Structure 1
Amino acid sequence: MKGISPERWSEIDRILDAALELDPAARASFVTESCGDDSDLVKDVMSLLDAAEKSSGFLEKSGKDHLNDMLADMVEQLDDDEENDPYVNKTMGPYRLIRRLGRGGMGQVYLGVRQDKADDRFVAIKIIRRGMDTDEILHRFRVERRILASLTHPNIARLLDGGATDDGLSYFVMDYVDGTSLTAFSDRERLTIDERLALFEQICSAIHYAHQKLIIHRDIKPSNILVTDEREVKLLDFGIAKFLDPGATDADLPMTKTGVRVMTPDYASPEQIRGDRITTVSDVYQLGILLYELLTGSRPYDFTDEARAEIERIILEKEPEKPSTAIKRVKSSDSDSDAELTSTRSAPIDRIRKQLSGDLDRIVLMALRKDPDRRYQSADQFKQDIIAFRTGRPVLAQSDTFVYRTGKFVRRHKGGVAASAIFVLMLITVFVLVVRFAFVTAEQNKEIQQALLKKDQVTELMLGMFGDVDPEMARGREVTARELLDRGVARIELELGDQPDVQAEMLNSIGVVYLQLGLLEKAEPLLFRALEMRRVLYGGEQHADLAQSLFDVARWYEENLDERAEIMHLEAFDMRSRLYERPHMAIAESSHELGVVYLDMMADHERAEGYLQDALDMFMELEGPESRKISEALSNLGVVYSSGDMADLVAAEIVTSRALSMQRQLLGNDHPFVASNLNNLGALAYDLGNYEASQQLLEEAIALRRLLYGDHYAGLANSMNKLSQVLRELGQFDESERLIRDAISIHGENYASLHPRTGHDYHMLGLVLERDNRPVEAEEAFRTAVAILSETVPAGHYLLADAQASLDSLLR
């Protein structure tokens, strides 16, 4: 059935669709009558009907919704002669195809070798199967290629190349993995429980990495995981994977079609069955099934001969039995199965059952909970519990009781602990805890009282500040936020002079508000004074308040594009890392801001990505898949991906769009973060050369920033600067010039007389004037830019280098 044209498929589809609407007994005669004298057509349609009946178990539905699945079955039946495979020994671009490795629902995979290089390593080439090149399948194929292009991880098969065959079928090229499927390898090598867990850790690492790239695999099963002889795991087949936010990009297909859910039934999660939103925790469920099968040799549910409705009921309602029970049941119920299982293990089944009983049972069942919120919240969290089990430490899936932790201690040190010693140890522990509690409580009571007093004093001062808004105090005049802050500073000086810790708290808090309003000159003395007071208060001691002051002063330096921000942020990051255990919000925030510093001020994209990814990991572990801080980290990672020599503008657009979508959902359409991401997306569209889209996004960002902050906000000027560049490229020089001059004016109001942002504005002004054939004015603007930047950024800084290059180019 090779070489079928689209018209032929359309005819098959039409007859098949009508036949499926009939009673099964009437289908054969209808097909014979409809096909007339075309015996090949009769054969093709009847083969499809036969495939439909054989595949009607889980995906039991009628009509053409099931066409793709039936096509796959039909091609399997009618096109399985490898000797006649038209692609074997064929050259495809620079690659020669040697033999077929396998086939899937939409593609065939071949072993190939590149012919035009000395490097003759084997590769795997995936080609869309003839007849499967529908719009939907082509789109999904492109999605898989795009996903693989964004993934670089030692446990994920790497994308190398892509293209199209001479007859127009898409293909892509990956590393060839000479390996065996996960369960087959583990059984062939008779791996121990610990060795199987070590492989599983690699799988979790790969899945967690994909999740960090906002990709859900959705098809985690043994056949999609190969293990090499060196015991290196490789995750394959992202054919039904999806980006976390299909609304942010067209790079994904809908989760479901009418009556069809994209999934493998044996590994489907409850939320997939219900048609609910699929998240990274859905992959965690599939990892749980995978681990269950890896440990026991069977899956938690047996769907043999079950109808679709019953399978759904089982997944949604039935609790899986413990792995230790499942492996025991195999032993007791079926001697042949027992013998087969024993032949794949390095220990007797009874010993394996004891190894599974307890923590491993609880770990697996936690991953398989029906409620996604009660599972491990990330693949990495799952992995960490496996590591804890393998090292004999308490696991998250176990309640944190004294008896449990003591049991863990004894098992780790069982050689030196006798039963009598355990009893004495428990008595001593209880006694020490009681005595320690008595002393610590007395000491901490004083600290608690001091903290409460500090809170009351701060509250009283804040109430006094906002009491000025009372009509009796305001006397009909509108009191602005800035006035309230100014009055608050005056009251701090008068009322808290003898309480330096409370005074420092208030000075820092109001300084941060000034900073957020873009009032840098007002923020500076408050933030720096609070830091100085706290250095004196705490001396060389590590303290959370001191770390907070370091962090906030560093942010002030950031706003001024002063590279001292790096030093202050590093000090805050180091102090917080000593004060807290990871993951911790304070450490994550410091890591995030360090990433911003390396991105915006030093153009060190490698270090920026490292710190931002570190922050994103912690935010996701602490707050789940979506939060305000996660969206902010994604937004800045989008800027990283759009910058530097290795810029990936497509990945940047995906991540930034995801951040914007999350922010609109969580924060509303009129939040400052939404304005920032509109600005970032506008900048990305500019970099991609899509100036009309860029103009629209930036104008929306400007309107929102003006609404939120008024006409004198520094961030407004930043957006104006970028929109001026867009209009310059569109040839709208008058409006471009007006915008950049407005930006210069606003930046001048917010910053010192000499500031890098103003220098950059003058550089952009010069480019507009140059394009408008006004070279004398352009030279003046360039020289002003170089003069300002020479005073405000280090020699060699990219802003200064770019401005100097523009001036040199004009003068040549």
Structure 2
Amino acid sequence: MPDATAKTNLHFATLGIQMGMLSKEQVILAFTKCRLDNSKTLAQILFDQKALTEEQAGALLTAVTTHIQKEGDLDKALASLPQIKVLQSDLERLGDQDIQATQEFQDIQATQEFHDIQATQGFQDIQATRDFVDQKGKTQGLVDTKLTSQPTHASPFQTSGQAPVTKDRFEKQQFFDAGNLGELFFAKDTELNRSVVTKYIKSERANEALTQALFLLEGEVTGALEHPNIVPVYGLGKDSQGNHFYAMRYIRGRKLTKAIEEYQAIPASEAGKKQKFLIGLLQNFQAVCHAIGFAHTKGVLHCDIKPDNIMVGDFGEVFVVDWGLVVVYGEAAKPVPANKKSFSTLDVSQVQPYFPSDSAVSGLHQNQGGDRQAVGGTPAYMAPEQLQATMQEDVSLLGPAADIYALGGTLFQILTGKPPHLSKKNPNEKMGAFHKRILQGDFTRPREWTPNVPKPLEAIVLKAMSLEPGARYASAKDLAEEVNRWLADEPVLADRETLLEKSRRWARKNRTAVAIGAVLLVSLAVGGMGFGFITQGFNEKLSISEKEARDSAVVADTERARAEIKEKEAQTNLVLAEEQHSIAVANEKLAKRRERAAIEAVKQYGKAVSDNPELKNRPELESLRKDLLKEPIRFFKELSDQLRSEKNTTPESLHSLAKGLVELAYLTDEIGDWEDAIGSYKQAIELRESLVKTAPSNTGFQDELAGSQNNLGALFHKTGKVREAQGCYKKALAILETLGKIDPTNTTFSQSLAGGHNNLANLYIEMGSMKDAENSYQKALTIREFLAKANPSDPELQEDLAGSFNNLGILNHQSGRLKEAEENYQKVLSVLKPLAIGNPNNFRIPKAMSDCYNNLGLLFGDTSRLKDAEESYKKAITIRESLVNSNPSNIEFQNDLGSSYNTLGLLFSDTSRVKDAEEIHKKAITIREALAKSNPNNTGFQNNLGSSYNALGFLYFQTGRSKEAEESLLKAVTIRETLAKPSPNNTGFQNNLVDSHSKLGQLYSKAGRVNEAEKSFQKAVSIREVQAKSEPTNTEFQHLLANSNNDLGMVYRKSGRVKEAEESFQKAVTNRESMVKSDPSNPEFQNVLANSHYNLGNLFFHSGRMKDAEDRYKKALDIWIRLKIQLPNNTYIANRIANSRIILCESLLIQVGTQASQLQETQAAFLKLVAADPKNPDFLNPLGAILYRLKDYPNAMANFEKARSLKKPMDGEDPFALAFMAMTYKQLKKPTEAVDYLKKCREVLKKETHSTNLSYQVLLKEAETVVNSKD
């Protein structure tokens, strides 16, 4: 044999030994025969010598192939097997040259890594702890069976009584698990140099005779069941310390439970991956069925089948483990008493039973001649008769049907992720109620837990879990074959398919036919052609008969023949007419079936393409995605055109046409052809309105119409057509409210109604209509609170409730009702936290929690709870990073993470943590740039990227990095202009653009680039004017317009364009007066109006218009004094009052000749200010100036000098105080000091900040006159 063949044989043999399917002796014998007859492979020889069955050989060959694929090639696979060296040493003695050719592997020792090793577990009960073993059993010694390297079994089914004591073959190593009776340890097989697992009786129960018998029975049974899918036992007996144990294969893998959890965690968006995983699980399940079926042929029931007792190996192996509750029945056990009912559905005469050894007999049940009383099992998977047997301690009630029920329960959990007997209505039910449900066969159907479970698979589960054992599958093999039918896309016997389901299956198997399905729809149109051709044939026959009659000259016979032919023709025509009608009806039915099949197939194809994450999220595949969607779009377009051309106005035909148009709209929306999508939705709505009109009592038609209106509204909303969206949403709500009145108990209608209110509220927010938004959110909340309370175990309804609390929290926050906002956010978390624990595979829940933490962070930031804000943002980031890592192709999770980075960056900016802010803003931009690039039509992603550039640009501006600031802000403006231009009614887009223009204007203004600053602020004002004009009563728009006018006024004032500045400031005053008029009690409106008067006063003051300045300052001061009464503890208002008094005082004092009464009134006000804050130079200097005007020069100078002594080094010089000090020194006869302070005043006024202030120039001239005057 060539070298490669020798290596293949060695690999096959070594893996067979490792898997427990072959003994070393069998392999050596096979290699000996292989050397003598090299025409056969080692596998064939092992099969011939009955060392392997055909099934075992096939399973081993599959494992060999899988192992080679996993390791990369044959050599690496050989190198990974540590047992190879031992086997080679034995084979070398044969003198086999082919074996010697593999010497290169004899020194390789592969490193074994412990993976998630899972072996047999103890008895588990999800409901309660039970003692399965009764302690009344008679003490009976266990035969000592210490193991040697020689076979000790007299037969495949019986253990020997004694074995010589030698050194322990199995060296116990590390403990790793324990059950009710046993403990599991990693161990080493010193004979074959392999890792194994040994199971020992727990020390505290080691001396119990019944426990020993049960343990021996478990070991014997497991060892006797030689099947590829039952964990092999290598030895059974006592170690050198006298401890009972048995050794079994070391399984590198995990429990089926873990595999099921992985499957259930795959999101629906990854349909291909999920389907592939399901197929693998079902194939594993089939292997389990075959193992249990094999055990049944040996007269053995497992009695504890569940995912926790099924192991899935790393190389495709599947093992049934933990036979600790085994029940032996049939010939192997004592006869069942005649008065006991047997639930067995297996023909016991056909089994080749396992017979327990004498030492293990006492482990049988009492009514089988043993000492065991309990039956046991795990109630979550237990058949009704098994629970009854456990309660009555009567094993005679059990048969193979009990295991088949548990297999059905295992399939149930594969499909739903839930144990079969878990109650959906009452997950915390009491034990009595739980047992009652099991005995009655009352459990939640799979599709009630998980609606997308394939109906045929649910039918298989329901048949396997039938209440009556006789109604279940006759054998585990039958159950496996039934699953195989579904995998092969064949009809499942347990499921009665509808015509539509058959059509779908036909469509899947005949994809070519489906591709031309539209052509089949014309079959009705050509159905009438058949009769014409047939009639033509009869006419031809008649002509032939006439010719023959003339040729024979038998006229009478011809006439008679003609009459007979006419009669037959008439009869034939009648028959053909009937046949034609039947054919037409059949053709119509066939066409409709094919039509439905084709529609469904193309619909599923289109959905698969549109939802595929690879096609959706990779920009380089965008054109491919659009091309793939063109075919289903063409199909639905042609279908719609044909249905219209038929002019069939029956409800069925109109309904089909509407469905086709909806599918067409959905797909055209997916490729960005929004106008076509809108057109299709409108046509569908028109048809559905006509259906509702013709059948007003059909709630299904009404529900579909509401759905179409809602879909069209969402499309309008997405494309910025908010008015149209509002109309559609309201129409949908009107229909849904009517449906709710018709059927108030219909949860679906109520959910849709709440969703409709929620959609409308979101739209109102974008329109700036906050009161309307809150009203709609409250309506949604009322409905969702009722639904959640009525259905506490429904996670979807609980999620909806949390969503309503979150929406209201956001709205409260935006409206300044911060306490209510925090309360609503906390309610969100109180709903979601327990929901997350009960639904670990539901990604929507942690996503919603992260949203809430992010919102809480924003709220805490706005209330200066900065530590709490940072903590909340970081909690959101932790969750969102985890979601992105688990779902790297999910763009929604990536978008959320980008938002969290952005908000934390803003917080760092506000707290002057510049480096941290810059770093995390750049993280946000990295994510958002990728999303925007791969989704160019997604306005949300583009908008978010603009926000990040805007935030980073403003950070650079605040830290003096002007060039970088300008670059980022210009990027933000470019993006936001692109979004705002086609969406003039989208308030969010327009506001964002104004914000970027304003920040850019501030940057230019600070840099002295006045012209560019003016242009930026003018653009902002233009947008605000359009908004305010569209809704004159909208105070938010008026407020924003006033802000923009104020910004523009500031730039005009800085550039010396006083007239334009005055116009802008006056517009701001007008805007804010309108706001106050609409809501006079709003303190914020009052405050901003005062600010506008104050700004105008400053402009007049700097322009030397003292009277006008005085007038404006007084107006501002009057407003703030009223607000101080309303808000006595508001420090901002108090500061504004003080500042107003100061500047008003200056405006009065600069005017020479102000009346003494005014001066005395002002003096009184400042004496109060100084008394409240005696060390404030800003109060002392004006008081000194007042005293100067009142000619109290000594006290005036005292205040000036005190103010200068309190002045801080970083404080600038005040030209107002300097001028009055110069004049006061002159009056106090100190000319030198007067000249010095006059000089200082001139120098200060030369600076840019004061050079344009005409009021100070007036005061300087007065001071020069006074100082230079002759005494």
Larger radius of gyration: 2
User: Which structure would you say has the larger RCO, counting Cα contacts within 8 Å and 6 or more residues apart?
Assistant: 1
